[in-house]
Structure 1
Amino acid sequence: MADTFDLVVIGSGPGGYVCAIKAAQLGLKVAVVEKRKTYGGTCLNVGCIPSKALLYASESFAEAGHSFAQLGIEVEPKLNLDQMMAHKDKTVKANVDGVAFLFKKNKITGVTGTGRIKSAGEVEVTKDDGSTETLAAKTICIATGSDVAGIPGLDVKFDETTIVSSDHAIALPKVPEKMVVVGGGVIGLELGSVWARLGAKVTVVEFLDKILGPMDQEVSTAFQKLLVKQGLEFKLGAKVTGVGKTEAGAKVTFEPVKGGEAETLDADVVLVATGRKPYTEGLGLEEAGVKLDERGRVEIDGHFKTNVDGIYAIGDVVKGAMLAHKAEDEGVALAEILAGQAGHVNYDAIPSVVYTEPEVASVGKTEEELKKAGVDYKVGKFPFMANGRARAMLKTDGFVKILVDARTDRVLGAHILGADAGDLIAEAALLMEFGGASEDLARVSHAHPTLSEAVREAAFAAFAKPIHI
């Protein structure tokens, strides 16, 4: 057995690699175990990064075909799917290579293989050739992320060609004529919109009576209308009862949740995007005595510690939203705690983004949550239609919505549907992190003309009146 590490991290996704880097920066001796050939986990390899590359490329393709003429640019775009995929792969490589560089820079030992906890102080790594290596660790961090969940109650046979998961929907060899997306959440809408823009007829089948289940209802409704304009169709309140292959492709059978006749949709490709589940298989958790909750997540306390001394967990494998940046924040906080500092994550100020066109972003409470909690609140809204920069960019769809405490004016939530919403939401998140009020935001000078002025105007609307409507 080699020298003892201060920290061995199992998994090199956003939570794991960030935790490892921060711990190394704070002086700990760190090793990371990763089963893939490249670092970065699902996010960098088959999730966040490649999907965003395809989203941007497909949005550019659609814009060239529909909006450029209004700007005085006359082109006839032609799709080169192979080149688009090459762009995606190049983007992925740059990111995973970047993590490898950072490991080397911070003197982190990377070990390729499948990790399993032998005890609170040992991680056994099984290599591809079947050989094993045992790492001694003062502390172990479980950062193994999540896996495709499938459809509850159905045994879906993924062939990753006709019936695909999100991991393979980023690499289809051709644009399908018809695609059925099972699941109207973030992943389904992002990847469904990619293939719709490239020419597929996309139908989304969703169990709930709305898309983006946890999202603010007003935003969800407005967003769905925009997606319908883009050609997507929706079957809401629909329970999928069957997904299978046919001679011509595949089919999806569903029935109304509230009762009614079953329907069947034929497709060339079916994307099952019904969420993800914590990845705990084969980690030796049961043998080590690590407790899981009723949803299969690793149980932790307020400092990411499991019930077993010396074993911690972060990211998708524990409670909370399955978001890369949430995992990163937990990774930093855990590293600081292990180094004797006061690491902390404010879960009330973690934003969520849907990278479609337009984007959807949210932080904090929704109106529905505030009503349920009996909170007296006020709403400030401002449409991008009234924003000068949005008009110049032909990006006038959507609005900014800010929710504040009616008595104190403290910002409780913010929701943005519109261009660059994922970047704009950071302003609201920062404000909430410091307990700010809408008036605080409104009295900060914003450059003109910018999309961020719409955020300021919504803040004005919350505590007084907007200027430009």
Structure 2
Amino acid sequence: MSTFDAIVIGSGQAGTPLVFKLASQGQKVAFIEKEHFGGTCLNVGCTPTKTYVASARRMWEAQHGEDMGIEIPLGTKANLRKIKARKDTLIQKSVEGISKEVEQSENIIFFKGEARFEGEKIVAVGNKFLTAEEIYINVGCRPFIPDGYDDIPYLTNQSMLELEELPEHLLIIGGSYIGLEFGQMFSRLGSKVTIIEQGDSIIGREDEETSQTIQQIMEGDGVAFRLGAMCLAAKKNDNGGISAQINCTKDGSVQIEGSHLLLAVGRRPNTEDLQLDKTGVKINNDGFIEVNDHLETDVKGIFALGDCNGKGAFTHTAYNDYEIIADNKFGGKNRKVSDRITTYGLYVDPPLGRVGITKREARQKGMDVLIGHRPFSKIARAKEKGETSGYMSVLVDARTKKILGATVLGVGGDEIISSIINIMYADTGYKVIRDAVHPHPTVSELIPIVLESLTK
């Protein structure tokens, strides 16, 4: 049995900075990782997909030069091998950087392998047994694979990034964030793409206007949608392709032939192999570890950070989990998960930036809300850029005059949303940003205009 001050299981966007923080404070830390440093975001999430999004954007620009008076000769094509190689190089540099820091730290002992609990504060990795008074679980999530696909050569967000040839016809089951990003990028790179969604609209958690606008944008890129797809089944063709049999509310029973199949129907936490039943740590019905406002489980000294605690499914929420732990432990603060305002982006092009509640949520809660709304087609800078798709809306509490939520779907939306987030964290009224002077010509200057014309 090896004794440590702390054990960190998983090297995602919460676990890795926490290991370095603990070590910098003189603590002896056991660092466990079964696959690769950096977790989902670095290896199979944010970093690789956004490099592909950037390449897909270059293709779009090459194909739309005529709109801007630029004559680009025909023949532009995507080289997926080169796109993948660029992605691999970016990832490798970051992973090697983490590895080097771990090796150079005298206070970090690295264990390669899968962790399992053998007691309340006993963790095993292979035939090695470790113990510590504080244990931090950061094991992340993986793609959810529905029943019935065992004998079908499906792809996930991870294996999609290993392809070196463009799919001829990519079928995507799931019309939410992962499916939409991959769908648009591969359509722009040259694949035929069909997205199959069980719901009546894509990304059902968003307002109807958001879902419809994104669908229209992607249809403009050549993506086909099959919505309301019930009784879904798939099989492997004799030619090695995929046949998807669906029963759509709109089109009836349809069979769609494709060359590749991407399953993008959600994610599940990597908690089942931890043997948490030997600790007393509770998980909910979906497998997420239950934690309090300070990310501690019901077993004192055991914490869960990142996607596996169900408190967020994003890199920024995972990193904020690390900040909560670090500031409360070493900074004398009292930071809480409940202080966090929900925000995220969808990196289709143009991107979606979201913060706080939606119009639908406000109606469901019967809230007295004012709304400001403006299409991007009325923004001078958007017209100058030739990118007028999308809209901006802001929700304001009619009584307190504080911003409750916002949607920015349009060019720069993923960046513009931050100015609204800052006002919300400042806990001040919307008039602060309404009366601010923004530079012209920018897309951000629309925010004060939106807030000047609030309606019920």
Scaled by the length of structure 1, what TM-score is found?
Answer: 0.90
- Farther-moved stretch of structure 1 (181-190 vs 440-449): 440-449
Match of 1:129 in 2: none
* 8 A contact 2:9–2:138 mirrored in 1: yes
Match of 1:80 in 2: 79
Match of 1:283 in 2: 274
Match of 1:170 in 2: 161
The letter for the 2-side match of 1:179 is L
Shift of 1:207: 1.2
Match of 1:405 in 2: 397
The answer to whether residue 150 in structure 2 is matched with residue 157 in structure 1 is yes
Shift of 1:27: 5.1
* 8 A contact 1:65–1:75 mirrored in 2: no
User: Per-residue displacement from partner, 1:299-319 (whole Å, max 9, x unpaired)?
Assistant: 112221112222111211112
Match of 1:59 in 2: 57
Shift of 1:239: 2.2
* 8 A contact 2:168–2:192 mirrored in 1: yes
CA distance in 2 between counterparts of 1:224 and 1:403 reads 23
* Shift in CA distance, 165/118, structure 1 to aligned 2, threshold 3 Å: same
* Shift in CA distance, 346/385, structure 1 to aligned 2, threshold 3 Å: farther
- Farther-moved stretch of structure 1 (449-458 vs 198-207): 449-458
- The number of equivalent residue pairs is 452
Unaligned residue ranges in structure 2 (runs of 5+): none
The letter for the 2-side match of 1:155 is G
User: Per-residue displacement from partner, 1:348-384 (whole Å, max 9, x unpaired)?
Assistant: 5231111111111211000010001110111112222
Match of 1:145 in 2: 140
SS at match of 2:288: coil
User: Per-residue displacement from partner, 1:435-462 (whole Å, max 9, x unpaired)?
Assistant: 2322111222222222222233323333
User: Per-residue displacement from partner, 1:69-94 (whole Å, max 9, x unpaired)?
Assistant: 62535344232221111111112122
Aligned equivalent of 2:301, options 290, 299, 310: 310
* Shift in CA distance, 219/180, structure 1 to aligned 2, threshold 3 Å: same
SS at match of 1:234: strand
SS at match of 1:210: coil
Aligned equivalent of 1:136, options 122, 131, 138: 131
Match of 1:46 in 2: 44
* 8 A contact 2:80–2:163 mirrored in 1: no
Shift of 1:218: 1.6
SS at match of 1:446: coil
CA distance in 2 between counterparts of 1:455 and 1:75 reads 39
Shift of 1:119: 2.4
Aligned equivalent of 2:260, options 262, 269, 275: 269
Shift of 1:195: 0.9
* 8 A contact 1:120–1:309 mirrored in 2: no
Shift of 1:123: 1.8
* 8 A contact 1:251–1:270 mirrored in 2: no
The answer to whether residue 323 in structure 2 is matched with residue 336 in structure 1 is no
* Shift in CA distance, 348/209, structure 1 to aligned 2, threshold 3 Å: farther
The answer to whether residue 200 in structure 2 is matched with residue 202 in structure 1 is no
User: Per-residue displacement from partner, 1:198-253 (whole Å, max 9, x unpaired)?
Assistant: 11111111111111121122211111111111111111111253122111201112
SS at match of 1:123: strand
Match of 1:365 in 2: 357
Match of 2:93 in 1: 94
Shift of 1:323: 1.2
CA distance in 1 between counterparts of 2:316 and 2:20 reads 15
Q: How does 1:14-53 map to 2 (within 5 A)?
A: 14-25=13-24, 28-36=27-35, 38-53=36-51
* 8 A contact 1:353–1:362 mirrored in 2: yes
CA distance in 2 between counterparts of 1:221 and 1:259 reads 16
CA distance in 1 between counterparts of 2:168 and 2:314 reads 31
CA distance in 2 between counterparts of 1:321 and 1:357 reads 24
CA distance in 2 between counterparts of 1:14 and 1:416 reads 26
* Shift in CA distance, 255/348, structure 1 to aligned 2, threshold 3 Å: farther
Moved over 6 A (4+): none
* Shift in CA distance, 347/145, structure 1 to aligned 2, threshold 3 Å: farther
CA distance in 2 between counterparts of 1:211 and 1:16 reads 33
Match of 2:243 in 1: 251
CA distance in 1 between counterparts of 2:451 and 2:258 reads 45
CA distance in 2 between counterparts of 1:103 and 1:447 reads 44
Match of 1:7 in 2: 6
Q: How does 1:342-361 map to 2 (within 5 A)?
A: 342-346=334-338, 349-361=341-353
* 8 A contact 2:395–2:403 mirrored in 1: yes
* 8 A contact 1:69–1:75 mirrored in 2: no
The letter for the 2-side match of 1:416 is V
Shift of 1:5: 2.6
